[in-house]
């Protein structure tokens, strides 16, 4: 069927639903298996319901997928990847809490590749239910003015769709006026939808966009107030319009009370209308929002790609998110194993074991790996993606900076961790030093633990490390029984160096994983460095030694052999 497969190439594609009939007629279909996310939502700390202010990103690339199948957004439609040059990718997952896939179709089902990438990094994904213009009025009249049976059918279908495709809920955006009968049923519809989503999807969310008022007129408020509060009370959050000033934030904070982090104050990166800051000044909006303890909704960060162009996209993207980092609380990984080759899910070549396997552009967000923090220290350190060389996938992580005069090393924080340390850890590292004097530098991993009186390394007689910094022991060869998993302990290839380490900890809680770049000789001068990271793994030794469960009863369908 043309809805599920591209008529030209037969490849599976993402799709949306238009109008009420399509929504009510939807049912699970074996042809849409390709659109079901296979990546469960990874756990992270702090969890979404913690009371610190959150960051929502609303992705609106040129009006979303399929505005013109053959020109715009085409790469997002081909859910098994495409040969797209310079595609848009998002990878600052550690800095955000919720990802909304937005388009102007009635029911936007997030393309599965976006859900996979977000879930792997612990971020829930919302689709969009939108009505607008006169068609929207008719649609709302049909299902809202009709009473409980009619709106219950719509909320039931939306919950089933999220459950079937394994995404996490809905942004509801009613951008048209409503009759008295329709607006009267809007709060019960939102309550019903929210309850249905919560029961169908663990951790599910329904967020309302600031548009219609309680009397049914369409009038954006740019705040939470008595005119729109009835909708906020009926669901998990409010996403405000963008044209607010500081007094709107003050009033919102007062009215929201203990639910202040459920208000997502809208920030349009394109700075349309009368707004406080967009583009590279977006931080000005975020600074104010955070001063009032509110959450933020960053709309259309694709500005970096659409406005500044695709040429230096990765560089500009790091600059944009780096400018906001001060106002974006980050998230910690809280489960092992942690393993990543840092691939963005795109590239100009494909690499395997450090060797270029296939040249040519590719894009497949489902193949994006767990993304690190992207620390920047003005003039001293930059973290970026390198497409020219990789260990596996399409890219590696490039760390560039200087070791200051008189200091022995620099620690670059890759991941924040928050979990009890198992008694024994194995760590592996693949790296490549660039630059004129790679022989003068050494590279290793460092783990830090949260300060507690009981935590120590090794056996009971060893002394606690000062300030919880642990330098795992280098393993020249893998321990018996782990030769397969840690095969590359001392065997890099194609210029990559491979290292394995072990670390014994007792009563500790993991805090940070960093890369330590040190110089062999102390120096009164600063020493520049540039290092590519190809892969990092942190493994719980106990589960690494256990043999994996056998795979049984494999079946395959919908195959096309080439």
Residue-wise pLDDT for 195-240, tens only, equals 999 999 999 999 999 999 999 999 999 999 999 999 999 999 999 9
344/65 Cα distance (integer angstroms) = 20
Cβ burial, residue 24 (10 Å; 0-12/13-18/19+):
middle
Say what angle helices 148-165 and 180-200 make with each other, to 10 degrees: 30
CA atoms within 13 A on the CB side of 461: 0
Which residues contact residue 309 at a Cβ distance below 8 angstroms, ignoring those fewer than 6 apart? Answer: none
The confidence score (pLDDT) of residue 63 equals: 53
The residue with tokens 């194995």 is 426
The residue with tokens 């303890």 is 293
Do 53-69+93-329 and 338-544 share a fold? no
Nearest one of 63, 81, 60, 79 to 71, comparing CA atoms = 63
Residue 466 scores a pLDDT above 60: no
Residue 269 scores a pLDDT above 80: yes
| Predicted confidence (pLDDT) per residue in 402-427, tens digit | 999 989 999 999 999 999 999 999 99
Instruction: Please say whether the beta carbons of 390 and 383 come within 8 A.
Output: no
Could you count the other beta carbons within 10 Å of the beta carbon of residue 188?
16
Q: What mean pLDDT is reported for the chain?
A: 91
Instruction: Please say whether the beta carbons of 207 and 237 come within 8 A.
Output: yes
464/459 Cα distance (integer angstroms) = 11
- Cα-based distances in Å from 235 to 137, 151, 192, 218, 402: 22, 15, 9, 19, 49
**Domain assignments of the chain as residue spans, ordered by start:** 53-69+93-329, 338-544
282/271 Cα distance (integer angstroms) = 9
Categorize the per-residue pLDDT at 366 as very low, low, confident or very high, splitting at 50, 70 and 90: very high
Instruction: Please say whether the beta carbons of 225 and 254 come within 8 A.
Output: no
96/330 Cα distance (integer angstroms) = 7
Domain 53-69+93-329 has CATH 3.30.200.20: no
228/207 Cα distance (integer angstroms) = 13
Class of 338-544 in CATH:
mainly beta
pTM above 0.85?
yes
SS3 116: helix
| Cis omega (within 30 of 0) for bond into 161 | no
Instruction: Please say whether the beta carbons of 124 and 203 come within 8 A.
Output: yes
Report, as an integer, the average pLDDT of 261-280. 93
109/34 Cα distance (integer angstroms) = 13
| Predicted confidence (pLDDT) per residue in 119-148, tens digit | 999 999 999 999 999 999 999 999 999 889
Which residues contact residue 66 at a Cβ distance below 8 angstroms, ignoring those fewer than 6 apart? Answer: 14, 15, 16, 73, 77, 103, 105
318/274 Cα distance (integer angstroms) = 26
Categorize the per-residue pLDDT at 70 as very low, low, confident or very high, splitting at 50, 70 and 90: very low
407/504 Cα distance (integer angstroms) = 28
Residue 294 scores a pLDDT above 90: yes
The confidence score (pLDDT) of residue 561 equals: 76
Report, as an integer, the average pLDDT of 246-273. 96
| Predicted confidence (pLDDT) per residue in 495-549, tens digit | 999 999 999 999 899 999 999 999 988 888 999 999 999 999 999 998 887 777 8
């Amino acid at each position: 069927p043309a809805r599920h497969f591209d008529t030209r190439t037969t490849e599976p594609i993402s799709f949306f639903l238009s109008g009420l009939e399509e929504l009510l007629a939807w049912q699970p279909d074996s042809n849409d298996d390709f659109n079901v996310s296979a990546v469960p939502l990874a756990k992270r700390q702090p969890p979404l319901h913690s009371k610190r202010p959150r960051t929502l990103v609303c992705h609106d690339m040129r009006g979303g997928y399929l505005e013109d199948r053959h020109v715009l957004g085409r790469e997002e439609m081909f859910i098994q990847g495409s040969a797209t040059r310079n595609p848009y990718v998002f990878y600052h997952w550690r800095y955000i809490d919720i990802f909304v896939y937005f388009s102007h179709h009635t029911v936007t089902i997030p393309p599965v590749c976006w859900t996979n990438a977000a879930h792997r990094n612990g971020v829930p994904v919302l689709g969009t239910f939108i009505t607008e213009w006169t068609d929207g009025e008719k649609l709302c009249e049909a299902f809202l003015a009709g009473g409980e049976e009619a709106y219950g059918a719509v909320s039931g279908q939306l919950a089933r769709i999220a459950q079937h495709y394994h995404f996490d809920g809905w942004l509801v955006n009613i951008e048209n006026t409503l009759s008295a009968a329709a607006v009267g049923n809007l709060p019960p519809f939102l309550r019903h939808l929210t309850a249905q989503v919560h029961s169908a999807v663990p951790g599910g969310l329904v967020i309302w966009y600031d548009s219609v008022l309680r009397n049914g007129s369409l009038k954006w408020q740019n705040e939470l107030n008595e005119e729109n509060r009835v909708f906020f009370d009926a669901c998990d959050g409010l996403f405000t319009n963008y044209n607010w000033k500081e007094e709107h934030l003050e009033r919102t904070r007062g009215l929201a009370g203990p639910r202040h982090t459920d208000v997502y104050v809208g920030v349009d990166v394109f700075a349309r209308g009368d707004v406080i800051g967009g583009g590279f000044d977006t931080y000005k909006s975020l600074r104010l929002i955070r001063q009032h303890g509110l959450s933020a909704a960053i709309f259309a960060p694709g500005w970096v790609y659409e406005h500044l162009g695709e040429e230096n996209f990765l560089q500009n993207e790091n600059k944009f998110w780096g400018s906001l980092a001060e106002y974006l609380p980050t998230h910690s990984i809280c489960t092992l194993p942690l393993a990543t080759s840092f691939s963005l899910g795109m590239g100009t070549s494909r690499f395997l074991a450090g060797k270029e396997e296939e040249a040519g552009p590719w894009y497949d967000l489902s193949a994006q790996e767990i993304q690190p923090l992207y620390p920047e220290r003005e003039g001293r350190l930059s973290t970026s993606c390198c497409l020219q060389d990789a260990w596996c996938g399409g890219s590696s992580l490039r760390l560039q900076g200087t070791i200051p005069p008189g200091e022995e090393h620099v620690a670059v924080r890759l991941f924040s961790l928050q979990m009890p340390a198992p008694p024994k850890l194995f760590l592996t590292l693949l790296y490549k030093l660039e630059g004129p004097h790679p022989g003068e530098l050494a590279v290793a991993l460092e783990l830090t633990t949260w300060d507690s009186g009981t935590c120590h390394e090794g056996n009971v007689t060893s002394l606690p490390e000062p300030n919880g910094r642990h330098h795992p022991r280098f393993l020249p060869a893998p321990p018996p029984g782990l030769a397969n998993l840690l095969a590359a302990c001392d065997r890099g290839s194609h210029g990559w160096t491979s290292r394995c380490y072990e670390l014994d900890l007792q009563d500790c809680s993991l805090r940070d994983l960093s890369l330590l770049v040190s110089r062999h000789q102390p120096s009164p001068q600063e020493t520049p460095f540039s290092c590519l990271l190809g892969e990092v793994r942190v493994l719980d030794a106990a589960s690494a030694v256990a043999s994996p469960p056998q795979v049984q009863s494999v079946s395959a369908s919908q195959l096309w052999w080439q």
